[in-house]
Amino acid sequence: MRSDQMKKGMERAPHRSLFKAMGYTDDEIRRPLIGVANSFNEIIPGHIHLRQIVEAVKAGVRLAGGTPIEFGGIGVCDGIAMNHLGMRYSLASRELIADSVELMAQAHPFDGLVLVPSCDKITPGMLMAMLRLNIPAIVISGGPMLTGEWRGRTVNLITVFEGIGQVKAGKMTEQDLDELENEACPTCGSCAGMFTANSMNCLTEALGLALPGNGTIPAVTAARIRLAKETGIQAVRLIEKNLTPRQIATPSAFKNAIAVDMALGCSTNTVLHVPAIAHDADVDLPLDIFNEISLKTRHICSLIPAGPHSLKDLDLAGGIQAVIKELASLSIIDTLAMTVTGKTVGENIKTASVKNSDVIRPISDPYHKEGGIAILYGNLAPQGSVVKQSAVAPEMLVHEGPARVFESEDEAYSAILAGKIRPGDVVVIRYEGPKGGPGMPEMLSPTAAIVGMGLEKEAALITDGRFSGGTQGSAIGHVSPEAADGGAIGLVKEGDVIKIDIPARSLALAIDDAELENRRKEWRPRKPKITKGYLARYARQVTSGATGAILKD
């Protein structure tokens, strides 16, 4: 066993002595040692209950004859970090999470791992480490939050963000907003909707790196605890079979996951995280593959924020396995791909079925005939940009309007709330990319303000930063190259006409090549916003959003 490096033989008597100092018995030390990465903290609703999940995992490990060894990990709550300096640390935390799991599992050579994330950057960070290490491992998330109820409406965190704009527009009072904030997030779990956290947990299941149900079983249910126990049991079985993550996360598995991404209408952040995970799996995953698969897929689930259905609805309708089974009829799913169940995708979905065709539509009657995400190119984004097209109003799929240029998210947010954005405008927020931000902050506050002000069918927003999974409307992010690298988004002038054509996958600045080149010659790099500490180091090492904002090798 891998753990023999730290426990077997006379020379390891000091090591065993240290184990015994913590109360481990000889029998426990002899068993397979399973590292359990617990990202519990008291600042993320999706993580506040992870102690209970981890205790269930550990019970499962012991039931199967292994010894669980828990260690901790960090996590940022994107909602609480939103719209201030903290958001610049969110994406950057992904690399720290991956490195810290790698460090713990190499310094203490566990025989296997159970990774227990729940939200935003924690799930992809742990997956990156999992594939980097390539020892038997499995994931169990904390599960999604339930939606709230307020004045007869189903509400969630995004309803509160949009409520700020509604107060500014006179459509809601501050007292209404006070009431709403008390009802919008009624339970623990990752925020209720197909936002980034739930997107990544669903895609982890689709990749085959978590058991069926991982993405959709609600956080507060007994079924989530049972799944955690089953995950602990399966961690030991993976060691017995020597089934490792890279045997599962093959090119075919990533294509399966992207197909599910498109069917669900997942967060645009998946276009950052899935390539980053693939990079650590040594799988080449060019940005174009998202368009390629999107064109072959159908958008068959209309989930919050773009539609009415919650993760609980999706779970009751059959969950991710039912979605995969529906997509398999399009011949875009590799049913021979292996999963952590020890069975293939095809074997897993044999018993799956769609229990509510309003939530999981048949491929013959989709919400949209293409997948939920589109990659746009053009002189404004030669390396690509990303939009959740399933959350764009039909009248905004093609749009042309004057640029309203802002050098930061704060400037744009203030202008939107002050009523300075008019119908037809294209809001441009730049110098917020991976390097220029630094940290590529999410733009949920300005996009939610646009919706709250009633402009989501009349104004667009583009940025070299990124968007929350809760964003809806014509919001185009990850514009690459970013402004800080001399990208064309840094050359846009107030009033320039910007042309958006999502069906044609085009994002263009309506000026000729000669003018664009003249502006490029006049452009000068800006002084970094942050010059010390982790973010300064991150800015020096991070690559483009088009490559998943991974760090330079």
pLDDT in tens, 156-178: 999 999 999 999 889 999 999 99
The Cα 270–Cα 260 span in angstroms is: 11
pLDDT in tens, 390-448: 999 999 999 999 999 999 999 999 999 999 999 999 999 999 999 999 999 998 889 98
Per-residue pLDDT, averaged over 318-347, amounts to 97
Q: Which residues lie across from 113 on neighbouring strands? A: 35, 137
In the prediction, which pLDDT does 15 show?
Answer: 98
Mean pLDDT rounded to a whole number for the chain: 96
pLDDT in tens, 2-53: 999 999 999 999 999 999 999 999 999 999 999 999 999 999 999 999 999 9
Which of 434, 530, 470 minimizes the C-alpha distance to 78? Answer: 470
Contact 400, 509 (CB under 8 A): no
pLDDT in tens, 502-511: 999 999 999 9
Token look-up 């509604």 returns 166
Q: Which residues contact 178 (CB under 8 A, 6 or more apart)?
A: none
Which of 156, 98, 458 minimizes the C-alpha distance to 311? Answer: 156
Reported confidence tier of residue 114, pLDDT bands at 50, 70, 90: very high
Reported confidence tier of residue 326, pLDDT bands at 50, 70, 90: very high
For the cut 90, the answer to whether the pLDDT of residue 80 exceeds it is: yes
Contact 263, 299 (CB under 8 A): yes
The three-state DSSP-derived secondary structure of 175-187 is: HHHHHHHHHCCCC
Which of 270, 317, 322 minimizes the C-alpha distance to 293? Answer: 270
For the cut 90, the answer to whether the pLDDT of residue 465 exceeds it is: yes
Instruction: Look up residue 484 and give its two tokens.
Output: 């800080």
C-alpha to C-alpha distances, 169 to 116, 452, 460, nearest whole angstrom = 41, 7, 18
Per-residue pLDDT, averaged over 78-82, amounts to 94
Contact 356, 484 (CB under 8 A): no
In the prediction, which pLDDT does 112 show?
Answer: 98
Sign of CA dihedral 90, 92, 95, 96: negative
The Cα 346–Cα 327 span in angstroms is: 12
Which DSSP category does 150 fall into? E
Helix (H) or strand (E) holding 540: helix 533-541
Which DSSP category does 483 fall into? G
The Cα 433–Cα 441 span in angstroms is: 7
For the cut 90, the answer to whether the pLDDT of residue 70 exceeds it is: yes
The Cα 312–Cα 193 span in angstroms is: 9
Residue 445: active-site member? no
In the prediction, which pLDDT does 344 show?
Answer: 98
Q: Which residues contact 349 (CB under 8 A, 6 or more apart)?
A: 321, 322, 324, 325, 328, 335
The one catalytic residue among 302, 468, 480, 544: 468
In the prediction, which pLDDT does 470 show?
Answer: 78
In the prediction, which pLDDT does 471 show?
Answer: 84
pLDDT in tens, 210-268: 999 999 999 999 999 999 999 999 999 999 999 999 999 999 999 999 999 999 999 99
